[in-house]
A and B are shown apart, each in its own frame.
Chain A
């Protein structure tokens, strides 16, 4: 997106511009508000929240809520903090993102450069799978994971996320490769290069931008998933399920400061990815899913 110029033919008067700036800044405050609230209150002792003003900066700064959220808060019945769940999430996200991206790249390559009869139907069926409400697969998935002995395990969650991420990764790579000149691929075929060789030597070296999109998309979606985590996580629940567990727990005092610290911890990986590579993500998303 940032590659596109800011040029516009529309001109606006002074008063109108002042109004526009005011509105834009007000909305910026609206979007920042929850982050600010989470941030400042995660650094306060509890009595400053229950007895004080949520918008105020801490009078006594403390990192104790963060420490508690990470290593000692009560999640369910165990006072483990979020640490083990963070590890679950990492163990789940990394392989699931890697596998679905590699398969998506191969699928996109085949669907654009090795077309066959019925490939549009194959693609259409995979594409539609991106948009199903996952409620429709919850029951059979529970049955199948149980039969495979994968219920409540990290490998089970990896399988689920790979399966329901394939549509998206295939979509991204297909649209990207569709714009790649097929003549180059044909020329390589003439020279006797095989299927994998063409992929490895010709397509892969130019796949950087779309790989970034696919990886960020999958990472964000899988890290943020709650429905599958809570349904099939069992004893290997991911971060989102643990956070919900912590916040909804009805026993004891509500430790708002710990909840906020935990929420930021759960959001941190995707926020970091977004800050570091968000630009490429939006740019690619526009090219991949909107214009098609």
Chain B
């Protein structure tokens, strides 16, 4: 932090150098993030189809968007997917973290096993689960060959159940990461607090419910923010696992935006859907980031 006393020790250039070095990064961010957001926002009010054109049509695209059954399906799916994905990942991550925190022998082996899926791309995850859940060669067939003839598991081929296959694969990929966040939180808790509560006669259950879990609040918040943001962005996994199908039954906003913009030549509607996605994420992220930045000052 330069003070006036130090200022004469440096040349004027030195004074401006930091800002000059930062400038390209900041300018790129302004242009490629905020400029582009503005571009897409404006585009969502135009009648663009295959290419951008600048005839303004007011809120027509938004009206059309919310009138489309296709978009309604995407919204319903993201609601199901996001709530289950966030809830299951959080519950499972917390459970595994608490169990791993009980002086477990072999923790060093288990932890990387829980965590490695996060190193994979959603396309790889999708490919693996796609064939594993396929009734023709995967789980259902395996069960039949093992003698459980009446076993059926055809969710991935079903209009109503395929969305839950996406939840399974996504939970598989991310829950280990959530576990790591909770484990770090647990390891940061002062043991003296727990010992004091034990002396007062608290049971393990009470210990976790009344003391540990409330202390993990920051980890819950971080997990929620990261998972919510991953859920809304989910594109790859849907493409790799179901391709949005069967039919349109697993379409999500991210896949909707892509297909309307680039394959159906409805760029205005695609832009409008992207704006809705951004606003949803901003509603979650802005308060969180604001609080984070404020706290640090």
Contacts and interface: CB of A to CB of B under 8 A. Distances in A.
Given A53-B145, A182-B1, A290-B222, A220 B119 contact: yes
A167 B222 CA distance: 17
Contact of B10 (A34, A115, A194, A275): A194
A61 interface: no
Given A120-B297, A126-B29, A282-B180, A33 B6 contact: no
A26 to B, nearest CB: 11
Contact of B18 (A17, A114, A244): A114
Contacts of B235: 135, 226-227
A110 B113 contact: no
Nearest to A191: B9
A240 B102 contact: no
Interface in B241-277: 243, 253-254, 257-258, 261-262, 267, 270-271, 273-275, 277
A113 B1 CA distance: 6
A180 interface: no
Question: Which of B26, B92, B198 gathers the greatest number of chain A CB atoms within 10 Å?
Answer: B26
Interface string A218-240: 00100111110001000000001
Contacts of A111: 22
A76 to B, nearest CB: 15
Given A54-B141, A140-B39, A227-B235, A260 B131 contact: yes
Contacts of B290: 124
Determine which residue in A1, A54, A135, A220 has the highest number of CB atoms from chain B within 10 A of its CB, and name it: A135
Contacts of B1: 113, 115, 182, 186
A190 B6 contact: yes
Interface stretch (A90-98, A149-157, A202-210, A266-274): A266-274
A171 to B, nearest CB: 10
Interface string A22-39: 011001101111110110
A51 B36 CA distance: 52
Given A34-B125, A143-B52, A226-B122, A135 B257 contact: yes
B123 A244 contact: yes
A24 B25 contact: no
A44 B296 CA distance: 56
B258 A135 contact: yes
B114 A116 contact: no
A38 B130 CA distance: 11
Interface stretch (B65-73, B156-164, B186-194): B186-194
Nearest to A194: B14
A252 interface: no
A114 B25 contact: no
A87 interface: no
Residue from B116, B185, B286 with most neighbouring chain A CB atoms (10 Å): B116
Contacts of A163: 28-29, 32-33
Interface residues of A, number: 111
A123 interface: yes
B58 interface: no
A133 interface: yes
Given A6-B103, A12-B102, A136 B141 contact: no
Given A129-B33, A137-B36, A224 B114 contact: no
Contacts, number: 307
B215 interface: no
Nearest to B284: A131
B170 interface: no
A282 B115 CA distance: 9
Interface residues of B, number: 117
Given A139-B261, A282-B180, A247 B21 contact: no
B119 A274 contact: yes
Contact of A8 (B123, B142, B191): B191
A20 B104 contact: yes
The residue in B35, B262, B274 that gathers the most chain A C-beta atoms within 10 A of its C-beta is B274
A228 to B, nearest CB: 11
B20 to A, nearest CB: 9
A128 interface: yes
B111 to A, nearest CB: 8
A27 B267 CA distance: 44
Given A6-B101, A115-B1, 18 more contacts: A10-B102, A23-B99, A24-B99, A33-B132, A35-B116, A106-B21, A124-B290, A128-B289, A135-B278, A137-B36, A163-B28, A166-B25, A231-B262, A240-B121, A244-B123, A262-B127, A263-B127, A271-B120
Interface of B: 1-2, 6, 9-10, 14, 17-19, 21-22, 24-26, 28-30, 32-37, 39-40, 43, 52, 92, 95-96, 99-104, 107-108, 110, 112-117, 119-125, 127-132, 137-139, 141-142, 145-146, 172, 176, 180-181, 183-188, 191, 194-195, 198, 204, 207, 218-219, 222, 229, 232-233, 235-236, 239-240, 243, 253-254, 257-258, 261-262, 267, 270-271, 273-275, 277-278, 281-282, 285-286, 289-290, 292-293, 295-297
- The list of the 4 closest CB pairs from A to B, nearest first, reads A224-B121, A114-B18, A274-B119, A34-B128
